[in-house]
Structure 1
Amino acid sequence: MKKHFIYIVTIAFVATFLASCGNKADEGQQDEQPQEEIKGGEGEVHLSQLKFNSLGIKVDEIPTRPLSGVVEANGQLEVPPQHEATVTAILGANVTTIKVIEGDKVRKGQTLATLAHPDLSQLQMNYVRVYSQMQYLEKEYERQKKLYEEKVGSGKTFEQTQADYLSMKGEAKGYEAQLRQLSLNVEKVQRGNIYQNVPVVSPIDGFIEKVEVQIGQFVDPQKGMFMIVNNDHIHADLMVFEKDVYKVMKGQDIFFTVESVPGTTLKAKIYSVGKQFEQNPKAVHVHAEIDQKEDFLIPGMYINGRIHTGEKSVLALPESAIIEEDGKPFIFTAAAHKEDGQTEWGFKAVEIRTGLVDEGWVEIKLLMPLPEGTKVAWNNAYYLISEMNKSQTSHDH
């Protein structure tokens, strides 16, 4: 009996000893474990002031901000056809000089090259002959007219002289038109000054885009010798898809970037909206005048534009304040409180709907009104939803 009692006491002592060791071990582990900075419950997450500061979370009320509806559109830089020119020879001839190179700035009427050919000399000589005959017939016409009016001359002779004079005058005018097209001084040619070299001149102000001839080359009348473009009139030509056409109109602002010049944003204003759909894709052309034309802008450059279709004041938050979870957008309300003398921040997820998106801001449509003065997180929504999900997973286990 005595042995049995000693055996029971021994077992009790060993159990008490082991339990005491276990508690001390647990206490040691708790002392070594860092203080929890994040705690959570269903649909919310809590942060210590230290964690709040380290994340740089901004908290404030939801502001009212003017936002504009935006239509995304792509296109390229263009120049109106009246500010582009292909320079050709009026008559077939050989190139004797070329006075410009690609990239040169030229003014209207400036000589780009000179041409020479026997046909050009013959044209001038023909004009001198016809002009001289016209002068003679003009005098003869005046003389016959006077005789006819005085009843001295024959009416038939007067009529024939008149017909010859008018015919020669018309022929002379035709030659004069050709000489002026060749940029020759008609008065000098009338005096017998025959041009050996005929100038090829620019029809517009602009820049030489292409030179497509060489010295000595024979150029046909339809041969393009120079391509000229006036970049002062460069504009944005964007393609707007059918679903967005009704939103776009004259006078709206466009902010666009040039693919080949990253980091640059330019502004333009719509001055024309096309009235006919292009196919593949089905879209209309929208033309916009660029506010400040930079030197690096060249026709044909591809651009990406955002058309601002109308401005209104709405509740809005930065994009980083909104997170989508299971296909639904959320924001986080924020409130600070004291716990054990320490400031702690609580964040609760609130389902919303979104509207306009403009320059990094998103329209907020509340499903239920928030109490007056409610503050929300302006950033780090992705982090907050991640921590909230971790807390929920932990509670499920």
Structure 2
Amino acid sequence: MKNLSKYAVIGLLAMLLGLTACGNSKKETVDNRQANPEMEKVHSEGEAKEVMLTAKQFDALQMEIDTPKMRNMSGYVETNGQLEVPPQNEATVTTVVGANVVSIEVIEGDKVNKGQTVAYLSHPNIIEKQTDYLDAYSNSQFLKKEYERQKTLYDAGVGSGANFQKAEGEYLVSRSKANGLEAQLQQLGINSAGVRNGTIYQRVPLKSPIEGFVEKVKVKTGQYVEPQTDLMEIVDTHHVHADLMVFEKDVYKVKEGQKVIFNVQSIPGKELTAEIYSVGKTFEQNPKAIHVHAEIENKEGQLIPGMYIQGRIQTENTQTVAIPEAAIAADGERFFVFSAEKEGEDWSFKPIEVAKSTKDGDWIAIDFLTEQQPNTKYAYDNAYYLMAEMKKGESEEHGH
């Protein structure tokens, strides 16, 4: 009997110690949560679960919030190509006379206006052309006066017809020579009126034929350049467009007016749209494909001719609700997205079950299993992080 009482006392003490430890554990959990206000708050109300993030956590995770998009997830042709500009929006700066480059006024990447001076040339040949013009002009003026004198005499009947015709011919030849030399000076950008007044220009300007950006500078200061040498290349990027290649098997699907969705590496994560305005009529042989040109509708960022692009030509117009793949988290064989709502300074995320459908790149078509409000916003990324935090919160709540 005494032994039985002894065991009963020991049992009661063990139960008291267990209850005390459990109480302390719960107290520590509460204390820890109060001491760390940054911790996610996870709670369960029946079937509704919620993950709370503070503003600091939201920013640290770089959360992206948006409504689902309507996208064409099928009925398209995969294509690639590069950015180009029409021929009329590219220009080469050349010289019509052999000369030395004495000054370069621009560098690659500079914006230039039409008619802006980009370099200066100088050479004895340029000075010689000016003196030749001055001689020809002066001689033409002399012969003009002689022609007018002979014409007056001939009209009065006191001059020889032969002398009049000779004076007329010599004047017309000299005038043509002077006009030809004046045209050459105009090509060089030299003011012929200044030369007639006695000014001889030591250097001549080279001017940009179009507005745009300096793409290449191919000469150096002091370099002698032959006539028609390419000195610089200017490109006007205002009319940059998508030049795409479509393979033979897909040509019959493509036509003018279709939409193109594409991206470039200079704007990561951003999709650009374009509309086809020209479909080539001849095949390139390597690879066998045709050129398709599309006008870009939402130009932004650095779009530079020659950039590689990848895109899709929409051949059908079937739209469906889609969301980025990073917005979907799996729980067994079920899939969830997280609705997002701001509560004060914090953010509330609730799991919404969906059914996955077609995948297109980083986007997946989805169907909501329950009706959703049309303007509801969802987390576009970090879905697996939110799912893990929700699971962690459930395990903590059922720990005791």
**Fold shared by both chains (TM-score > 0.5):** yes
| Contact residue 69 and residue 356 of structure 1 kept, 8 A | no
1:240-293 residue CA offsets vs partner (Å, 9 max, x unmatched): 112222222222221110135321211112221111111111111111111233
Q: Distance in 2 between matches of 1:310 and 1:140?
A: 81
Q: 1:185 aligns with which of 187, 191, 194?
A: 191
1:135-179 residue CA offsets vs partner (Å, 9 max, x unmatched): 222222233233333333222222222221221122112111211
Question: Which residue identity does 2:193 align to in structure 1?
Answer: E
CA distance 1:134–1:361, shift in 2 (3 Å) = same
1:70 aligns with 2:76: yes
Structure 2 SS opposite 1:132 = helix
Q: Distance in 2 between matches of 1:203 and 1:319?
A: 48
| Contact residue 232 and residue 293 of structure 1 kept, 8 A | no
1:91 aligns with 2:97: yes
Q: Greater Rg, structure 1 or structure 2? A: 1
Structure 1 SS opposite 2:317 = strand
Structure 1 SS opposite 2:183 = helix
Q: Which residue of 1 aligns with 2:88?
A: 82
Question: Which residue identity does 2:274 align to in structure 1?
Answer: A
Structure 2 SS opposite 1:296 = coil
Q: CA deviation at 1:310?
A: 4.2
CA distance 1:317–1:128, shift in 2 (3 Å) = closer
| Contact residue 357 and residue 363 of structure 1 kept, 8 A | no
1:341-396 residue CA offsets vs partner (Å, 9 max, x unmatched): xxxxxxxxxxxxx99989957799xxxxxxxxxx899xxxxxxxxxxxxxxxxxxx
CA distance 1:293–1:140, shift in 2 (3 Å) = farther
Q: Distance in 2 between matches of 1:165 and 1:227?
A: 43
1:169 aligns with 2:209: no
Question: Which residue identity does 1:132 align to in structure 2?
Answer: S
Alignment of 1:1-397 (within 5 A): 69-311=75-317
Q: CA deviation at 1:130?
A: 0.5
Give the paired residue count: 285
| Contact residue 71 and residue 322 of structure 2 kept, 8 A | no
Q: Distance in 2 between matches of 1:199 and 1:243?
A: 52
TM-score, normalising length: structure 2: 0.62
Please identify runs of 4+ aligned residues in structure 1 that moved more than 6 A: 64-68, 354-359, 361-364
Q: Distance in 2 between matches of 1:292 and 1:168?
A: 59
Question: Which residue identity does 1:288 align to in structure 2?
Answer: A
Q: CA deviation at 1:119?
A: 0.8
Q: Distance in 2 between matches of 1:271 and 1:258?
A: 20
Q: Distance in 1 between matches of 2:291 and 2:208?
A: 30
Q: Distance in 1 between matches of 2:263 and 2:196?
A: 57
Q: Distance in 1 between matches of 2:308 and 2:295?
A: 16
Q: Distance in 2 between matches of 1:195 and 1:300?
A: 40
Q: Distance in 1 between matches of 2:203 and 2:250?
A: 57
Q: Distance in 2 between matches of 1:95 and 1:68?
A: 57
1:98-142 residue CA offsets vs partner (Å, 9 max, x unmatched): 111111111111111111111110000000110111122222223
